[in-house]
Amino acid sequence: MPQAPVPTTAEDTAVERLVSIVLRGGVLAAAAVTASGGALYLARHGGEPINYTAFNGEPASLRGLAGIVQGAMGGRAEWIIAAGLLLLIATPIARVAVLLMVFIRERDRLYVAVSTVVLAVLLLSLFDSGV
């Protein structure tokens, strides 16, 4: 026997809207930053010949958060692209952080605990990976 759907409250709708704004805003911001970095890269390097005989790895400053932010602020195209990718990675982390704040406000201890663990795992995996 199918169960009747649980009615949603105005507060539930507001939380869903807030989460959707965070997710949509994060993805759109990441897309805009990455696209602008890509356009800048093509404008500067689009006509250069490609050398397939030598492999050139990424600079060390592209492997850390501080280096990516510093390079992006300096207008370096590869670093702007990397910053856009970091924004994309940060979007679901921001979602968990927003929901954690909602659960704290609602005094829902179980979901506060679960969200705290999930946020800690996400942040540890992000910063432990060398980004």
Burial class (CB in 10 A: 0-12, 13-18, 19+), 29: middle
pLDDT in tens, 81-127: 999 999 999 999 999 999 999 999 999 999 999 999 999 999 998 77
- Hey, what's the torsion of the CAs at 100, 69, 81, 123, to 10 degrees? -30
Confidence bin at 131 (pLDDT 50/70/90): low
Q: Show me where the domains of the chain are located.
A: 21-44+61-128
What is the reported pLDDT for 5? 61
Confidence bin at 77 (pLDDT 50/70/90): very high
8 A C-beta contact, residue 104 and residue 115: no
What is the reported pLDDT for 84? 97
pLDDT in tens, 18-42: 999 999 999 999 999 999 999 999 9
